[in-house]
Amino acid sequence: MHKFVDEVNLRVQAGKGGAGEISFLREKFIEFGGPDGGDGGDGGDVIFQTSEQLLALSHLRPEQVYKARNGFPGEGSNCNGRKGADLIVRVPFGTQIIDPVSGALLHDFTEPGVFIAAKGGRGGKGNAFFRTARRQAPRFAQPGEETEEKEFTLALKMIADVGLVGFPNAGKSTLLKALTKANPKIANYPFTTLSPNIGIIDDLVRRPLIVADIPGILEGASKGYGLGLSFLKHIERVRLIVFVLDLENAYVEDEMQILKTELESYSPELLSKPALVVLNKIDRFEDKKFLKEFIASYKAQGLDPIPVSAQSGEGIAKLRQALKRLLKGAATRAGAKKRAKKAPKKVPKKSTTKKAAKTKDTPKKTAAKKTVRKRSTTASA
């Protein structure tokens, strides 16, 4: 089983440019053929490209230098060298390319695309390029451009539709298995999940939905306790947060407030996302009256929790409908924001009353000028 990796330092180097050729035409009956050395080819680029098949950065090796191919040298008969092959490094969606020295964000793969990390060196010019009227036979050529090794930090922030958030042993992995076809590790002890698990829901909306099971959050996680900040960053880009609470926990009433406090401490924007509250493990309670009173206490706080049993499947259908309703609402709001950004700004029209008044006055003025001219001509006569 591959270890989940969401941050890695990577060294890359573009290909060097090919050298130009020093060559002269040698043919029968051509005494002074002249220079015919071709140019060298450009070096290959190192390109980061998104891939839908990848969910982590585990396939990348920090000890390896990722090098593109060098450009081919030029040849005689004015033959130019071929360009070196580009090296494409595939990364999952949500990967950020960061400068490790300054910490500046160079690129963020929130959508499919490419990022040229290192540009290949230019190929050198052959001696045919340097031929002039005064210098008919140049005996030199240009070497290819050298390239330097570069280092980047690749940090992954998952792009998921739904994020399952809760304390350790709240049953998030079991709920992920009940909602999707995923098969995460499940056990009856805290911190069973040490890295995010991913599941896909195919039959809820028109496109597949990605559900991420975030490892358990403890009080003080925003300050580094437990698994700390290492997995809180994966909640930043989810469209919907599902708070999973364990009804067997003696402090279940305080869990919701602690989770909200930790998310707000990490990023206040997280609380503005659509959210659901799921009360898990209702199959462990035989006293249904107590369960109803407990749910009513949450409703009194302005929350609308969904009681489920991830193990038996009770309440899962209701949860799926709630997810469908909230995700559709989030999609319509996002579409409205995009349309508002693309809509052209209305420029206020200038009032034309003054112009109209001026145009009405001009004929009278011109008529008056004509009469004055006629009088002056008659007087002179």
Per-residue pLDDT tens digits for 282-298? 888 777 787 788 778 77
* Range 119-127 average pLDDT: 95
Q: How far is CA 94 from CA 273, 334, 335, 349, in A?
A: 18, 18, 20, 44
* Range 50-79 average pLDDT: 91
Which band of pLDDT confidence, cut at 50, 70 and 90, is reported for residue 184?
low
**Helix %, strand %, coil % of the chain (to 5):** 30, 20, 50
* Range 87-108 average pLDDT: 93
Q: Which tokens in the block code for residue 206?
A: 């028109």
Cβ-Cβ contacts under 8 Å for 266 (sequence gap 6 or more): 221, 222, 229, 232, 235
Q: Does domain 1-157 have CATH number 3.50.50.60?
A: no
State CA 338 to chain mean position distance. 17
Q: How far is 9 from 155, CA to CA, in rounded Å?
A: 9
- Strands of 209-213's sheet, edge to edge? 197-201, 209-213, 162-166, 240-246, 275-280, 306-307
**pLDDT score for 336:** 64
Per-residue pLDDT tens digits for 359-370? 445 454 444 444
**pLDDT score for 157:** 83
Per-residue pLDDT tens digits for 151-183? 999 998 877 788 888 888 788 888 888 888 766
**pLDDT score for 223:** 53
Domain boundaries, the chain: 1-157, 162-336
pLDDT at 64 over 80: yes
More confident of the two residues 197 and 182: 197
Which band of pLDDT confidence, cut at 50, 70 and 90, is reported for residue 42?
very high
Q: Cβ distance 240 to 276 under 8 Å?
A: yes
**pLDDT score for 337:** 60
- What is the dihedral sign for C-alpha 33, 34, 36, 37? positive
Q: Which residue, among 129, 148, 130, 126, has the nearest Cα to 19 in the 3D structure?
A: 126
pLDDT at 43 over 90: yes
Residue 103 DSSP class: -
Which residue is it, tokens 């990023």? 267
**pLDDT score for 340:** 65
Q: Which tokens in the block code for residue 42?
A: 């450009």
Q: How far is 123 from 14, CA to CA, in rounded Å?
A: 13
Looking only at the bridges linking them, the beta strands covering 65-67 and 162-166 are unpaired
State CA 370 to chain mean position distance. 73
- Strands of 46-50's sheet, edge to edge? 87-91, 46-50, 114-118
State CA 50 to chain mean position distance. 9
More confident of the two residues 211 and 342: 211
**pLDDT score for 54:** 85
Which band of pLDDT confidence, cut at 50, 70 and 90, is reported for residue 70?
very high
**pLDDT score for 379:** 45
Q: How far is 30 from 32, CA to CA, in rounded Å?
A: 6
Q: Which residue, among 115, 183, 140, has the nearest Cα to 35 in the 3D structure?
A: 140
Q: How far is 325 from 337, CA to CA, in rounded Å?
A: 19
Q: Measured between alpha carbons, how far apart are the two ends of the chain, in Å?
A: 114
Return mean pLDDT, the chain: 79
Third-level CATH fold of 162-336: Rossmann fold (3.40.50)
More confident of the two residues 62 and 353: 62
**pLDDT score for 41:** 95
Q: How far is 161 from 270, CA to CA, in rounded Å?
A: 14
Partners of residue 213 on adjacent β-strands: 164, 197
